Amino acid sequence: MGTQQKRSSIRINLLQLILLLAISSVIVVLVNSLFVSYRVQRDLLVSTVTQANRAYAAKLATSIDEFLETALQQLAFGAAVIGKNWNNPKAIATETRRLKHQTDSFNSVVTVNHLGTVLATDPDLGLVDSRLTSESSRTALEKRQGWISSPFVSSTGNLIIFISQPVFAPDGKYLGYVGGTIYLLANNILNDILGNHYYQDGSYVSVIDQNRKILYHRQSDLIGTEAPPRMLYQEVLKGQTGGTRLTNAENLDVMAGFAPVKHTGWGVVVQKPTDLALAPLSKATEEVLIRSLPLTALIALGILWMSRRITLPLRKLADSARNLDQPGVGEAIRSVKSWYFEAAELKRAMILGTDMVRGTIEKLNHDIQIDALTGLFNRRRQETALTVWEAEGRPFALMEVDIDFFKRVNDTYGHPVGDQVLEQIASLITHHTRNDDLACRIGGEEFTLLLPDTTAQAAYQIAERLRKAVESALFPGVGRVTISIGVALWPEQVDNIHEVMRVADQMLYKAKHNGRNQVQMAWADQTQKVRA
């Protein structure tokens, strides 16, 4: 009964295993191919986009360089004109106005003498004849050469950068400077260069100066603030050009390219969100997967057909093996068409072994013998059960039971009374065991109980109930008798099925050594394998 239950609980067969292995292999190969392809193309795309951003950053940096150089040249030309007409306020105002309106390079232009007094502005800022005391004005006066400032807030409240050129008289005397302002938050050529770029795919540009002040950003509220101290900014401010993938200040995974503006030491950074860059790749991978499905399905059908052909002979042989004790099984085995070597060899072995198996089954049936005195099974039945359960892999608990001081009973009351004690204990054992349990007398006052499919906790409870039942029973002519029990489990506690008897015997010895009339269980402290 237990064997049939064990067999029927195994639902998977060889055909299913082959199909599972083959189809899993196909799926793994397909997924791995798609994954490797995706990774290779992704890395290539990341490298390509990063290099493109680097090249574009370098192009923008060159454009900014050219713009700043042009702005300095415009101011230098204007400074020369003003220097020749220094004593002509109208000429100074005219040239200042021309510098402002010649191009959209500057949002305002100012001419200042060597004392810092404003001589002319365009547009009219209300600063004429006032003295400029800002740091940028003082620096322009001190440098007496072409100069580009860092971002600062002007006296009119605008966030600007200031570009100046010194004004010298024809005889070389320093007279002052002429300067143009670029409002970082207003329309001008610099903003046009940075804002109107040919990438329309989510890329954006930012520019920082030597002090990491943001000169341009798509988020205008960040302009004028200090950029975080990232390695990328450190490299570009050192004059390096390159590209990398990083998480930016907005917590976005981006691919960035950077390049320096050589004239000023500024850094230009072009960033593109990685998810936008990889979106086409994901769609391409999905398309590859869809196109590969028909061929994959065809391969799966081929695997199914071949698997059925391979497993059919083995399935028929397995069906015959399950019914070896049935008439006609030999003819059924011979009728199997074994078209490959392994199936043919298995078929031959089963034909040769049919008679042997039948004889073994008959021998096992005859070996079921009963102990004449107690009516329990004997040692041979126990060995047979252990062999069968080991072959089936059926777990069990083994209880070794020994009557305490039984020799004293025989010596005191005689062997006939001792035999009555054995019979009564056998009756108690039978009463406290289940239908599937196997109770054996293996000699003298020693009994064993084999409890199939029993946990350690359940075995302990059964043993304890038996011990209490014997302890509370009244044995005619003797009175009270007690037993000691040792319990062990297979395969939870030992790997070798024959070792389980040794472990149970050790537990029995421990029970007797500790005072008898008790159950000793091979818990985890002996084997570390008992299930609670």
Residues designated catalytic:
445
449 within 8 A of 377, measured Cβ to Cβ:
no
Asked if 520 and 526 count as a contact pair (C-beta separation under 8 A), the reply is no
What is the rounded CA–CA span in Å between residue 508 and residue 321?
41
User: Could you tell me if 312 and 347 are in contact, meaning their C-beta atoms sit under 8 angstroms apart?
Assistant: no
Cβ–Cβ < 8 Å for 404, 483: yes
Please give the backbone phi and psi of residue 372, each rounded to the nearest 5 degrees, phi first: -65, -35
Give the residues across from 159 on adjacent strands: 153
The C-alpha atoms of residue 402 and residue 116 are separated, in whole angstroms, by 117
Residue 163, token pair as written in the block: 């570009």
DSSP letter string over 443-512? Answer: ETTEEEEEEET--HHHHHHHHHHHHHHHHH--BTTTB---EEEEEEEETTT-SSTTHHHHHHHHHHHHHH
What's the Cα-to-Cα distance from 511 to each of 121, 464, 473, rounded to whole Å?
Answer: 111, 12, 20
- Token output for 484: 């000691």
State which amino acid sits at residue 35.
Answer: F
Adjacent-strand bridge partners of 179: 110, 164
Report the Cα 349 to chain-centroid distance in Å: 49
CB 57 within 8 A of CB 242: no
**CB crowding 412-438: b at 16 or more within 10 Å, else e:** ebeeebbebbbebbbebbeebbeeebb
Cα separation, 342 vs 325, whole angstroms: 24
Which string of b and e fits 24-36 if b means at least 16 CB within 10 Å? eeeeeebeeeeee
User: C-alpha distances in angstroms, 470 versus 398, 426, 436, 467?
Assistant: 19, 10, 22, 5
Q: How far apart are CA 120 and CA 96, in angstroms?
A: 7
Cβ-proximal residues to 258 (8 Å cutoff; 6+ apart), any chain? 54, 57, 232, 235, 236, 240, 241, 242, 243, 267, 268, 269, 270
Residues 209, 200: contact at Cβ < 8 Å? Answer: no
